A = this chain, B = another copy of it.
């Protein structure tokens, strides 16, 4: 999933948005990055079960879609930080009502 995978094929906005957040771990990545910027290894620990390969490819796609910013610090050992772009922040905001709906109606947590 990434960057207009289906050019001009989207039926509506939700359809298009689903293509951006459609990866198995993507909304969880956004969820974590919404709190604070994270390094690769941090994200891996925050998302139990994700493999390095999948985490890397999801981050590449989110970066290509302009949702995530990748900052490389020239240090030894290597250090890379991922954070949300302003577009990513706006996406998270648009996701908030859906999160509230899920909490209330699927998880059964009222407020």
Contact = CB atoms under 8 A, between A and B. Distances in A.
Please classify the interface of chain A as helix (H, G, I), strand (E, B), loop, or mixed, using the class held by over half of its residues: helix
A95 interface: yes
A13 interface: yes
Copies of this chain, how many?
Answer: 2
A80 interface: no
Interface residues of A, number: 35
Contact of A105 (B11, B18, B87, B104): B87
A72 interface: no
Interface string A34-49: 0000000000000000
Contacts of A100: 13, 94
B17 A99 contact: yes
